[in-house]
Homo-oligomer: A and B are copies of this chain.
Amino acid sequence: MLKVIAEDFIKPECIGIVMPLYAELVEKTRQEPQCIAYDLFTDRKDLGHFVFIEEWPDRAALDAHCRTGHFTRLVPLINRHQRRKGTVILMDPFTHDAERGTPARE
């Protein structure tokens, strides 16, 4: 399992422009057969700060998502209105092996 946090930082005056683009991106991505979760949130302290929390079976599925028609069309349209470059974190679920006292990685 691959968990992803992707953060976008949009100029405040452009929020109204990106909202329908994000809505379409969420709707279409959730229809991808490999998408487990694709949820979008907004920062309470910064409405131009959009945060995706995603779940994919693996990296190949995320890469396939980034090659879809909706992604390659909508993301550049959104990114025109960035105030700074977005960030992406790829993550594994925390697991702890109490016997060894060390991270239990797959």
A: residues with CB less than 8 A from B are: 3, 5, 15-16, 19-20, 22-23, 26, 39-45, 47, 49-51, 53, 89-94, 96, 98, 101-103
Contact = CB atoms under 8 A, between A and B. Distances in A.
Contact of A94 (B40, B89, B91, B92): B40
Nearest to A21: B96
Nearest to A41: B91
Given A22-B96, A101-B19, A44 B91 contact: yes
B19 A90 contact: no
28 contacts: A3-B53, A15-B102, A15-B103, A16-B101, A16-B102, A16-B103, A19-B96, A19-B103, A20-B98, A20-B101, A22-B94, A22-B96, A23-B94, A23-B96, A23-B98, A39-B93, A40-B94, A41-B91, A41-B93, A42-B103, A43-B89, A43-B90, A44-B90, A44-B91, A45-B90, A47-B103, A49-B89, A51-B91
